[in-house]
Amino acid sequence: MKTIEEIRADFPILSRKVYNRPLVYFDNGATTQKPLCVLDAVREVYTEYNGNVHRGVHIMSDLTSEAYENAREKVRSFINAGKREEIIFTSGTTGSINSVAFSYGERFVKPGDEIILSTLEHHANIVPWQMMCERKGASIRVIPVNDRGEILLDDFLKLLSPRTRLVAITQVSNALGTIVPVKEITDAAHSAGVPVLVDGAQGIQHDVVDVSSLDCDFYAFSGHKIYGPTGIGVLYGKEKWLTELPPWQGGGDMVDKVTFEKTTYNELPFKFEAGTTNYAGAIGLAKALDYVLGIGMQYIAGREKMLLAYATEKLSEISRLKIYGDSANKIAIISFLIDNVHQYDTGMVLDKLGIAVRTGTHCAQPVMQRFGIDGTVRASMCFYNTTGEIDALCSGIEEVIRMFS
Ligand code: PLP
């Protein structure tokens, strides 16, 4: 078991200084930092064996294709999907959700149908469905949340109807940190014969994810939020759906036979991977998954729980500070406002103290509207953060309060 100092040493960027102060990085919800092994894996692709995947007879293409397919297998086992054919590499969560919204909409949605989302959704799990609904004459229904930022399950059950074509729900709110009971939601939706897409952008990196026991129909996540490279993501889809859905893009590698009269498509998963994919990113992502497995997902979940408890206690002691989202079941995200101080001012002062937090609506405007605010300051922590950094955040907030009082 590595010590926290050893873990932090795996991430070169964590030891840099900003404005001559140690960097305190609390914007892990936006993107996570990368361990050296991930950077090395991507560099190795380009220095040792780069060739386009599934294209050539030469050794470079073979080596890259093998590493790419091994990455697919790594993702499959990481989320416990049944088959490697069910793992599609995409550009990220946004790419994955847009793709399903397009193809599922084309194949299954008709005028009058409904898609159920929740108030907690990131814009990436709202706008693609709106675009699809506009095209198909369907509409969106929204599950409300209570004052703690928790989904109201009874209201969800009331929204399910014969018109419901799909439920698309986040696993964890990026704005408040609430962990959503996606298993209960999936079971209830399935009882009504409705498939479920889970937006795992904020779920995949914090605890074990098992799509087989979750039984969701689609699961989307981004590599860069789980210590992997940017520009790579995953769509898991049950084989029965992926077989039925039309491809969302056409191009090289996704075809079987092409004539000007007719094209037949490649088998899964290649049917959904048109053109040259981000294979270096996929290989880097596989290394990131190896890395977190080496640290241990249970260890990560436990350490982040400790950080959340510590940060909640310390921040609650600051009298002019209000925390938004206090579900008993949340990840290590604290969204807050300081009385009479705009969130941008707080963020900018903290930045000058070397503390990186996110400010604004967090691409989740509806949840901000629900709480009647135009944004928050968000400190999103992960396992490489420390209680010392939380103390630095608290001192920084006291400084903000002094400056603006
Ligand atoms: N869904 C949630 C809950 C998110 O937090 C994010 C990003 O913050 C996304 C979707 C979009 O992820 P990406 O920008 O990596 O596609």
Smallest CA separation from ligand 1 atom 4, residue = 201
45 has pLDDT over 90: yes
Which of 31, 169, 174 to probe ligand 1 with, by most ligand atoms within 8 A of CB? 174
Q: Which residue has the tokens 């436990």?
A: 302
Angle ∠(29,81,36) on CA atoms, nearest 5: 45
Give residue 202 CA to ligand 1 midpoint distance, Å: 7
Rounded to the nearest angstrom, the distance between the alpha carbon of 32 and the centre of ligand 1 is 12
> Known catalytic residues?
363
**Model pLDDT, residue 332:** 98
CA of 123 to the centre of ligand 1 (A): 8
Q: Which atom of ligand 1 is nearest to the CA of 92?
A: 16
Pocket test for ligand 1, best of 98, 363, 365 (most atoms within 8 A of CB): 363
How many A from CA of 103 to the centre of ligand 1? 20
pLDDT digits (tens, 9 = 90+) for 16-26: 999 999 999 99
Tens-digit pLDDT profile for residues 1-11: 899 999 999 99
Would you state the pLDDT for residue 405?
Answer: 85
Q: How far is CA 220 from CA 282, 283, 358, in A?
A: 14, 18, 23
CA of 200 to the centre of ligand 1 (A): 8
What is the CA angle 283-248-108, rounded to 5?
Answer: 125
Q: Mean pLDDT score of the chain, rounded to an integer?
A: 97
66 conformational bin, left if phi > 0, alpha if psi -120 to 50, beta if neither: alpha
Percent of the chain, pLDDT > 70? Answer: 100
- With a cut of 90, say whether residue 67 has pLDDT above it: yes
Task: Return the pLDDT at 237.
Answer: 98
C-alpha of residue 267 to centroid of ligand 1, in Å: 28
Structure confidence at residue 27 (pLDDT) = 98
Across 51-75, average pLDDT = 95
Give CA–CA dist 221/199, Å, rounded: 7
User: Hey, which of 94, 129, 182, 232 would you mutate to test ligand 1's pocket, going by the most ligand atoms within 8 Å of its Cβ?
Assistant: 94
Burial tier of 137 (Cβ tally within 10 Å: 0-12, 13-18, 19+): exposed
Amino acid, res. 273:
E
The 10s digit of each residue's pLDDT in 249-284 is 999 989 999 999 999 999 999 999 999 999 999 999
Mean local confidence (pLDDT), 180-200:
98
CB 163 within 8 A of CB 85: no
The whole-model pTM stands at 0.98
User: Residue 313 has what pLDDT?
Assistant: 98
Q: Could you tell which of 117, 121, 202, 361 is best to mutate to test the pocket of ligand 1, judged by most ligand atoms within 8 Å of the CB?
A: 202
Q: What is the mean pLDDT of residues 119-145?
A: 98
356 strand-pairing partners: 25
Average pLDDT of the segment spanning 79-99: 98
Q: Judge whether residue 56 has pLDDT over 90.
A: no
**Domains, the chain, ranges and CATH?**
4-30+296-404 (3.90.1150.10), 39-293 (3.40.640.10)
Residues with CB under 6 A from ligand 1: 92-94, 122, 124-125, 170, 174, 199, 201-202, 222
CA-CA distance, 200 to 211, in Å (whole number)?
10
Atom of ligand 1 nearest to the CA of 94: 16
| pLDDT above 90 for 364 | yes
- Residue with the smallest CA separation from ligand 1 atom 14 is 94
Position in ligand 1 atom list of the atom nearest CA 171: 3
pLDDT of residue 126: 98
The pLDDT, as a whole number, for residue 344 is 98
User: Comparing C-alpha atoms, which of 330, 292, 298 is closest to residue 207?
Assistant: 298
CB 153 within 8 A of CB 211: no
Residue 55: pLDDT band (50, 70, 90) is confident
- The mean per-residue pLDDT over the stretch 332-348 comes to 97
Report the nearest atom of ligand 1 relative to the CA of 363: 8
Q: Predicted confidence band at 112 (pLDDT cuts at 50, 70, 90)? A: very high
Q: How many angstroms is it from 226 CA to the middle of ligand 1?
A: 12
For 119: left if phi > 0, alpha if psi spans -120 to 50, otherwise beta; the answer is alpha
Ligand 1 atom nearest residue 225's Cα: 15
Which is the closest atom of ligand 1 to the Cα of 230?
Answer: 15
Which residue's alpha carbon is at the smallest distance from atom 5 of ligand 1? 174
Take residue 213 and report the two structure tokens written for it. Answer: 């026991």
